[in-house]
Copies of this chain bind each other. A is one copy, B any other.
Amino acid sequence: MNITKPTLLLNEQKCRLNIEKMIARSKHLNSSLRPHFKTHQSKKVGEWFKEYGIDKCAVSSLEMAKYFYNAGWVDVTVAFPLNVLEYTTVNDLAGKIKLSLCIESLETVQLLNDFLEHPIGVFLKIDAGYHRTGLDAENFEKIEPILQALKSNPLITIKGFLQHAGHTYRAKGKKEINKIHAHTSEKMIRLKNHFQNQYPDLIISNGDTPTCSVSENFEHIDEMRPGNFVFYDVMQAEIGSCGYEDIAVAMACPVVAKHPDRNEVIIYGGAIHFSKDQIQKDGQTIYGLIAEPERKGWGQPKEGWFVKKLSQEHGTLHVPDQDFDSIKIGDLLYILPIHSCLTANLMSKYYTLDGEGIEMFRYQS
């Protein structure tokens, strides 16, 4: 493969291993796996899941649901608060597939009732501690009338309670992840138990890659819905969800300038390729790590190297003294992204290490 500009490489073997491991975990933990496809956004990677027997997925928009429907996915949960303005797409998809939506207010249920023409499943989006969005898991008084309103619509099957413990992204290590997981699970189980008599078939669906990757107790958590694990990234490695060797994507970027006086190298590779997510480590803001090149693909992060700044197309790398002279203009460096979801979203294709181009969904405004 002749790489001449920022190119997102996908190590298929690592990716498949991540998929296999998560499937094995879901079986071992007795929690059904509905992988979130918003990370890879690709029909081809979806097919890899199918090869291992996965036949349902979650997505983050109705448009993405349509993309995966066109790739043969007929059991899809849109794990995002329903955007009522897209009612045409809802009806279109609901007429064709097992579509599940998330709602979190009576106001939305009323709007939904006004336009819905085909059967759908509905999850109540629950906030069990992340505080981004969702109904407070402990506010039964607010949840009850919403369940009743949903029940009164014969086109709606109430599926259960769905939450995303995004606060595990701020955790460090298995212990902290488990603490958050225990806390959110306890709330979700209490919620389910409260409504068990009236609504005996409701399930609990939990997201977030950290808990799904490391937590051992998924008792009563009927469904797990991780997404990022398919690629992982620097953020997940730092949280402790994976090892650096599990990261399945890297951006190959050309060196365009060198500044030995301040130990900096400029790559063609900026915010329009990586996005601007960053982590703080040892008092330093880090926008990416640089991996050792291998005969085919890449290995562990290079000791002491990191992306210290990103602007539109420029990436500024810090390179230790002893490595500086080895770098030449036109070299390709492998950058491990901080957040693979946002990085993948910015690119139009993946390339496998064999040079196969893999298309992906792109948001069409």
Contact = CB atoms under 8 A, between A and B. Distances in A.
A316 B130 CA distance: 13
A234 to B, nearest CB: 16
B365 A330 contact: no
Nearest to A38: B312
A132 B316 contact: yes
Copy total for this chain: 2
Dominant SS among interface residues on chain A: mixed
A105 B258 contact: yes
Interface string A45-59: 000000000000000
Interface string A84-123: 1110110000000000000011011001000000000000
Contacts of A61: 5, 268, 313
A255 to B, nearest CB: 9
A85 B313 contact: no
Interface string A343-365: 00111110100000000001111
A148 interface: no
B5 A86 contact: yes
A349 B363 CA distance: 10
19 contacts: A5-B83, A5-B85, A5-B365, A80-B268, A80-B314, A82-B256, A84-B330, A125-B257, A132-B309, A133-B257, A133-B259, A133-B314, A134-B257, A271-B342, A272-B345, A275-B276, A276-B276, A346-B363, A349-B365
Interface of A: 3-8, 38, 60-61, 63, 80-86, 88-89, 104-105, 107-108, 111, 125, 131-134, 166, 254, 256-259, 262, 266, 268, 271-273, 275-277, 309, 311-314, 316, 328-330, 332, 341-342, 345-349, 351, 362-365
